[in-house]
Amino acid sequence: MMSGNTMRQKKTWIFQRTWIFRRTWIFQRTWIFLIGCALMLGSMALAPAILAQDGPRTGDDPKRWQAVAPGRVEPWSGEIKIAAPVIAAIGEVLVKPTDKVFAGELLIRLHDEEVRTRLATAEAQVAMRRRARNDQTAANRVIDRRRSEDAVADAERAAVEARAAIDAASIARRAGKGSDSDVEKARTAYGRTLDRLRQDRNELRKLVNDGGVPLPAAVDGQLNVARTELAGAEAALEKLMIRAPIDGTVLQINGRAGELASPSATQPLLVLGNVSKLRVRAEVDERDFGDIKIGQVALVRTNAFRGREVAGKVSSIAPMVDAGRINRGQRGATDVNVVEVLVDLVEPGPLAVGMKVDVYFRPEGAPTQ
């Protein structure tokens, strides 16, 4: 058994350890509390600066604005995303980003050797069937119809060759072996062939509608079938030519020679747009839908150019309300739907396509500053 003196010593040691533990625990809790208070005061001090960056600028009177909405800068034509119409390997990419292109210009050529073989076979069939038809005599009215059909077929072939001449001229110009005048001459010649084709088709249609022309003989039908197969081969070849649908600027290319292009690819093969003018696609809160009007004045601001404002006017308001597409963080359950509003910029200034901006809609009749 322990003596009384030993028991007193043990109790004293336990008391001292308990007192030290409680003192250390209180000390740590006090420091945690003081640090938390310091962080809270610091955040309160920085809040005005943060709000000044993300919200209306310092000095803005909130009453000046009918609504404020996020937006994204885009070309005046919108971003035209072009995908491959068929699954095929990319044979040649003929342009690069920032290149200016004209409507109909060849941008990307897909692998086409198999289709060109089919085209050559169809051309040989047409030539053979045409010679067989010409070896047979026919009445004058039949001869007139044959001449008219031949004129249309020849004009169609000339149009195909004229378009190929435009492609060759534009490729040579980009390679430094041609000039703009060569391209313009080729385009002018192509326009003349189209005019001739329309004229020949009208004459054939008039001849058939006048009546009195005998039905086609077997050799005529065989030639028409061969010409139809030729037209199908030419259409298949044209499908492998990725062309510019409008005059514009190449904004993005997502393919290289040798890669496989597909209509179901996640990214478009090519993106282009008319950047001669810019506009902003803004997403206005559905609660402000009734306040925005066509022609309303708006100011566009971006954090990339602080202190700069770009003026614009509302040119279009979508007829429906939908979920927003401009990602500004994770959407929550309290988020509201938006209506898309297009704002044409008077002068784009430093803004670039794809840039995120804030659009401030000025109330009608409000004074400008």
- pLDDT tens figures, 206-238: 998 887 778 888 999 999 999 999 999 999 999
Q: Considering the domain delimited by 62-76+277-361, tell me its CATH architecture.
A: Beta Barrel (2.40)
Per-residue tokens: 277: 């003018």
Q: What's the number of CA atoms in the CB half-sphere (13 Å) around residue 131?
A: 5
Per-residue tokens: 333: 């359950």
Kindly give the pairing relationship between strand 278-285 and strand 88-93: unpaired
What pLDDT shows up at residue 249?
Answer: 96
Per-residue tokens: 342: 């297009």
- Domains of the chain, by residue range, sit at 1-53, 62-76+277-361, 80-110+243-271
pLDDT(149) > 60: yes
Which of 133-137, 257-261, 320-324, 357-361 comes out lowest in average pLDDT?
Answer: 320-324
Instruction: Please state, in angstroms and rounded to a whole number, the distance separating the CA atoms of residues 57 and 307.
Output: 9
Instruction: State CA 358 to chain mean position distance.
Output: 21
62-76+277-361 and 80-110+243-271 share one CATH topology? no
Tokens 């306040």 belong to 291
Neighbours of 167 (CB within 10 A): 18
pLDDT(175) > 60: yes
Query: Hey, which bits of the chain come out as E strands?
Result: 67-75, 80-82, 88-93, 100-101, 106-110, 241-243, 248-253, 260-261, 270-273, 278-285, 297-301, 310-317, 338-345, 356-361
Q: What are the backbone dihedrals phi and psi of residue 43, each rounded to the nearest 5 degrees, phi first?
A: -65, -35
3-state secondary structure of 75: strand
CA distances from 352 to 201, 251, 365 (A): 47, 11, 30
Angle between helices 140-174 and 218-239 (to 10 degrees): 10
Q: What is the mean pLDDT of residues 298-309?
A: 90
Q: What percent of the chain has pLDDT over 70?
A: 79
Name, of 41-55, 123-137, 207-221, 354-368, the range with top average pLDDT. Answer: 123-137
Per-residue tokens: 21: 């533990």
Class of domain 80-110+243-271: mainly beta
Closest of 201, 202, 231, 218 to residue 142, by C-alpha: 218
What pLDDT shows up at residue 269?
Answer: 95
> pTM for this one?
0.74
What pLDDT shows up at residue 156?
Answer: 96
